[in-house]
């Protein structure tokens, strides 16, 4: 069961990207509840920080 949980968390994390609704991820993972999917879709703080920095850099490059 542990390997299934790890696979679901990995799949959920990869699917939870901009442009992919939580509902679509919920269906893909087969969850009955969106709340369950949200647990799997949480991003690690370091990953979230890196994504925010990258988005800011793209924004700054586009406006300069």
**Buried b vs exposed e over 44-55: b needs ≥16 C-beta within 10 Å?**
eeeeeeeeeeee
Spell out the SS3 assignment of the chain: CHHHHHHHHHHHHHHCCCCCCHHHHHHHHCCCCHHHHHHHCCCCHHHHHHHHHHHHHHHHHHHC
Reported as a single tens digit per residue, the pLDDT across 3-23 is 444 444 455 555 555 678 888
8-64 tens-digit pLDDT:
445 555 555 567 888 888 898 888 998 888 877 776 567 778 888 898 999 999 987
């Amino acid at each position: 069961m542990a390997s299934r949980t790890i696979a679901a968390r990995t799949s959920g994390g990869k699917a939870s990207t901009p442009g992919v609704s939580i509902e679509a991820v919920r269906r893909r993972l087969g969850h009955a509840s969106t709340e369950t999917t949200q647990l799997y879709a949480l991003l690690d703080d370091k990953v979230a920080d890196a994504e925010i920095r990258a988005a800011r850099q793209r924004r700054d490059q586009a406006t300069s």
